[in-house]
Amino acid sequence: MRSQRWFAPDDLRSFGHRSRLRQLGYSADDAEGKPVIAILNTWSDLQQCHGHFRERAEDVKQGVWQAGGFPVEMPVLSLSEMFVKPTAMFYRNLLALEVEEILRSHPIDGVVLMGGCDKTVPGLIMGAISMNLPAIFVPAGPMLAGRFRTERLGSGTDVWKYWNERKAGNLDECALRQVEEGIARSPGTCMTMGTASTMASITEALGLTLTGAATIPAVHSAHARMATAAGRRAVELVWEDLRPSAILTADAFRNGVVTDMALCGSTNAIIHLIAMARRAGVPLTLEDFDRISREVPVVVNLRPAGEFLMEDFHDAGGVPALLSRLRPHLALGCRTVGGSTIGEVIAGAEVLSDEVIRPLDRPLARAGGTFVLRGNLAPDGCVIKPTAAEPRLLKHTGPALVFATYADLKARIDQDDLDVTPDHVVVLQNAGPVGAPGMPEWGMLPIPKKLLQQGIRDMVRISDARMSGTSYGTCVLHVAPEAAVGGPLALVRDGDLIEIDVEARRIHLHVADEELAARKATWSAPPRRYERGYSRLFLDQTSQAPDGCDFTFLEGGWPTPEPDIY
């Protein structure tokens, strides 16, 4: 075992290491000769979705002890999707880097990854892939369904809805407080099909969790049992030497994309899956997502695309049941951390509600998890979730209304004299990985107040930003290259005609090439707001959205040597 390099030799260094285990209160029987299992815990007092993780870490430890391992809990960057600014995405790669280096620098043989809130999932997994120690993921699980009077509330989706009612004067102060108190009423992640639910489900489909783990509500006692079982299994993974590299094959990633499309998952999953795949040395491109989206129908009926919430998905059989429906689209031989193959997982699964997990021949949408558009406005691609859009807007040409920054948009979008019609295409520039920075979830650009008052609820919106998985509308996202690095999005001016044709996967700026070249010649990059520290590293190293926004020096599989132990 790897940890034996620290503890076993008969030398001065190991004598020191062993004496320090005694200092921690562990006898030789407790620790030595056992697999050391790191429990990487993304708990913090400002991580609202992981409130149960201190207790759950104890559940994991119990399982590690039971199986004859030595559990060590280590805190890692907590990344609250709500509280971390400018956006948790800005720090996903920092978490990944931290995970990799914590594992490398310590006497650790296997790892339990505890995450759930949006960016914690890819951050933990990307780091674990790069270090490639036996690893198992313990998802935080969804929070309880929300409640306001007789209504069931969904995270995010109902926040926008009730906030609009508040703006329209239909919700008094008292009712607003009741929504505030009822929409997030337990630990656990957003219980709509946002990024957290999407990534947890994909993680299970990739084979990185125990069977059925992704959908167990955070406060369900089954969640504690799953955590303990994961601890036990982590020890066995070390003895079996089953590593992420044996699980995360090209076929596994394909299964992940199939699952994403059937969920109508968050558009963020595209960026994360590409980043994870590249860490694993698997080529995965936007074209793979577009191709698979044409083949796989949306069958999971969860908000915002559908009507149900995560605990309904769980009660309907969860991810194994979904995978059983998707059987014709899946590579069944892929291995899982539980020890069985995806085919074996499916064999034991049953769909318990055809309303929550629709049959393939009665889907929520025939296709359309996420489509990829290309054209002179997005030479490297951009994405749209057609199920979230009003169908009439999926083929549309209109004049651009351009905002250079989010501050510009915020300052002007609700002005009474804004020159805008329902046919306009709202464009936000400089909201991408470098521009914002960190590519925040600004992509569901607000509808101008003037149009809201006319009853308009959707229009074409284009940006280089991301969008929350709980959002909706005709939003073209992840435009690449982004405006801040000189992508054509930077050259759009008010009144330019923009055409989108989603069926044809086309996005076109109706401006002549010569004119665009002339505009490019006078374009200069916006000034960088951050010039030191982590921000500088991010701005210098982030890749663009189609490449996963990883740091270029972290991609790929060249092995970093194990540390010397002297």
Rule CB under 6 A: which residues touch ligand FES? 49, 81-82, 117-118, 155, 189-190, 194, 196
Instruction: Between 306 and 469, name the residue whose CB sits nearer to ligand FES.
Output: 469
Instruction: Between 81 and 236, name the residue whose CB sits nearer to Mg ion.
Output: 81
Q: Round the CA-based radius of gyration of the chain to a whole number and report it.
A: 24
Closest CA to 511 of 410, 402, 417: 402
Q: Binds 196, which of ligand FES, Mg ion, none (CB < 5 to 8 A, cut-off by type)?
A: ligand FES
The distance from CA 489 to its chain's CA centroid, rounded to whole angstroms, is: 25
Q: Binds 468, which of Mg ion, ligand FES, none (CB < 5 to 8 A, cut-off by type)?
A: Mg ion
Q: How far is the CB of 515 from ligand FES (least distance, A)?
A: 43
Site for Mg ion in 190-209 (CB under 5 A): 195
Q: How far is the CB of 120 from ligand FES (least distance, A)?
A: 8
Applying CB under 5 A, does 157 fall inside the site for Mg ion? no
Instruction: Between 429 and 468, name the residue whose CB sits nearer to Mg ion.
Output: 468
User: Could you tell me the two tokens for 43?
Assistant: 């708990």
User: Could you tell me the two tokens for 325?
Assistant: 């429906």
Instruction: Between 79 and 252, name the residue whose CB sits nearer to ligand FES.
Output: 79
For Mg ion, which residue of 192, 468, 471, 542 counts as binding (CB under 5 A)?
A: 468
| Beta strands at 378-384 and 371-375: parallel, antiparallel or unpaired | antiparallel
Closest CA to 138 of 238, 67, 212: 212
| Beta strands at 395-403 and 497-501: parallel, antiparallel or unpaired | antiparallel
The letter for the amino acid at 519 is R
Q: How far is the CB of 35 from Mg ion (least distance, A)?
A: 35
Mask 78-107, x = binds Mg ion (CB under 5 A)? ---x--------------------------
Q: How far is the CB of 95 from ligand FES (least distance, A)?
A: 14
Q: How far is the CB of 226 from ligand FES (least distance, A)?
A: 18
The letter for the amino acid at 51 is G
Mask 42-71, x = binds Mg ion (CB under 5 A)? ------------------------------
Q: How far is the CB of 379 from ligand FES (least distance, A)?
A: 33
Give yes or no for a contact between 70 and 103, defined as CB atoms under 8 angstroms apart: no
DSSP of 288-357: HHHHHHHHS-B-B-BTTTSSB-HHHHHHTTHHHHHHHHTGGGS-TT-B-TTSSBHHHHHHT---S-TTTB
What burial class does residue 397 get, using C-beta atoms within 10 Å of its C-beta: 0-12 exposed, 13-18 middle, 19+ buried? Answer: middle
Q: How far is the CB of 47 from ligand FES (least distance, A)?
A: 8
Task: Evaluate the omega torsion of the peptide bond into residue 437 and state whether it is cis, within 30 degrees of 0.
Answer: yes
Instruction: Between 49 and 145, name the residue whose CB sits nearer to ligand FES.
Output: 49
Instruction: Between 207 and 469, name the residue whose CB sits nearer to Mg ion.
Output: 469
- Rounded to whole angstroms, the Cα distance separating 546 from 464 reads 11
Q: How far is the CB of 57 from ligand FES (least distance, A)?
A: 18
Q: Binds 49, which of Mg ion, ligand FES, none (CB < 5 to 8 A, cut-off by type)?
A: ligand FES
Instruction: Between 194 and 244, name the residue whose CB sits nearer to ligand FES.
Output: 194
Site for Mg ion in 108-127 (CB under 5 A): 118
What burial class does residue 29 get, using C-beta atoms within 10 Å of its C-beta: 0-12 exposed, 13-18 middle, 19+ buried? Answer: exposed
Q: Which residues bind Mg ion (CB under 5 A)?
A: 81, 118, 195, 468
